[in-house]
Structure 1
Amino acid sequence: MRFRFIALVGLSGALLSACSDGPAEDADRVREGQRVYAKECAACHGARAEGAGPASLHLDVVPPDLAGLKQRNDGYFPREFVSRFVMGQLEKDDPSSPMPDFSAVGLRHVYPNGGADGEVLETDFANLLNYLEAIQW
C-alpha cells in the first residue's frame, strides 16, 4: 500500500513537471527574443545592447545601455517599465525622441511583409523582454 502511494506521488510529480515550462523552452524564448532584438533594436542600441549602435550615429541622442538596466535599478530588471516604454504607454521625456512606439509601428523588420499581429506580437515582445532580462550584467 505504501509503495503504491509513493509510486502515485512520483508519477504525479513527473506528469506535472512535463506540463510546466522547462529550461529548454526558456532558452528557446530567449533565443527568439534575441532574434527580435537583432532585427528591431540592435541598429540603435548595439549588438550587445550596450547603446550606441551604428544607426545611433545619426541621432541627436545616444540610445541607452539596455544590458545594464538591472544594475541601474538596484539588481531588479524593470520588466514592466521596459514593456510599457517599448509599447509607447509611457510619456517620453523628449517627445521628439527617435525611439519608436512599437505598438503603433509593429515589428517591421521581423515581419517586413506584415501579417503578424495580436498574439504573435505579444509573444515576440515577451520574448524580447526575456532576452533583455537574460543579458543583464
Structure 2
Amino acid sequence: MRHRLTAIAGLSCVLLSACTEGQIGHSDAVRAGQRIYAKECAACHGAHGEGAGSAALALGTIPPDLTGLKQRNDGYFPREFVRRFIMGRLEKDDPASPMPDFSTVGLRHVYPDGGADGEVLETDFANLLDYLEAIQE
C-alpha cells in the first residue's frame, strides 16, 4: 500500500510539473520557433528579443523589446495581435516602419532557396508565436 501511495504521489508530481509555465521553454515547437526567430527576427529584435539586434542601428528606429509583450498587456500574451501584426493584417502607426510584412516576404531566411514559395507555413508561424510567448518576462 505504501509503495502504491508513493507511486501515485510521484506520478502526480510529474503530471503537475508538465502543466507549469516553465515547461513551454522546452517543447519541440518552442525550439523550432527559436530557430525561426534566430533567422528571421534576431537581427533587429536581438538574440533574445530585447530589441537590440545587430541591424537595429541602421533602422532609424528602435525595434520593440519582445520579451515584455505580456507585461505590457496586463500579464496576457497577445498572441492574436502579434500574429496579425507580423502578418501585416494591422495598420502600423508608422507606415514607413522597417518591420516587414511576412505575409508578403515569407520566411526568406528559413527558406533561402524559395522553399514553400516564400509563404509563411502555419506550423512555422505557430512555432514562432510559441517561442515569443516562451520568452516573456
Taking structure 1 as the reference length, the TM-score comes to: 0.78
Q: Deviations over 1:45-85 (max 9, x none)?
A: 00010102110110110000001100111000000000000
**Residue aligned with 1:112, SS:** coil
**Residue aligned with 2:116, SS:** coil
Q: Deviations over 1:76-129 (max 9, x none)?
A: 000000000000000001000000000000000000001215997111010000
Q: Which runs of 4+ in 1 moved over 3 A?
A: 117-120
Unaligned residue ranges in structure 2 (runs of 5+): 1-22
2:56 counterpart residue number: 56
Unaligned residue ranges in structure 1 (runs of 5+): 1-22
Residues 1:125 and 2:125 are matched in the alignment = yes
| Backbone CA RMSD of aligned residues | 1.9
Q: Distance in 2 between matches of 1:60 and 1:120?
A: 26
Taking structure 2 as the reference length, the TM-score comes to: 0.78
Alignment of 1:94-113 (within 5 A): 94-113=94-113
Asked if structure 1 preserves the Cα contact closer than 8 Å seen for 2:107 and 2:118, the reply is: no
Q: Distance in 2 between matches of 1:106 and 1:93?
A: 22
Task: Report the Cα offset of residue 28 of structure 1.
Answer: 0.3
Q: How many residues align?
A: 114
1:80 counterpart residue number: 80
Residues 1:67 and 2:67 are matched in the alignment = yes
Q: Distance in 1 between matches of 2:97 and 2:63?
A: 10
Identity level (%): 79
1:39 counterpart residue number: 39
Could you say if the C-alpha distance between residues 60 and 118 of structure 1 is closer, same or farther in structure 2, counting changes exceeding 3 Å? closer
Q: Distance in 2 between matches of 1:120 and 1:44?
A: 19
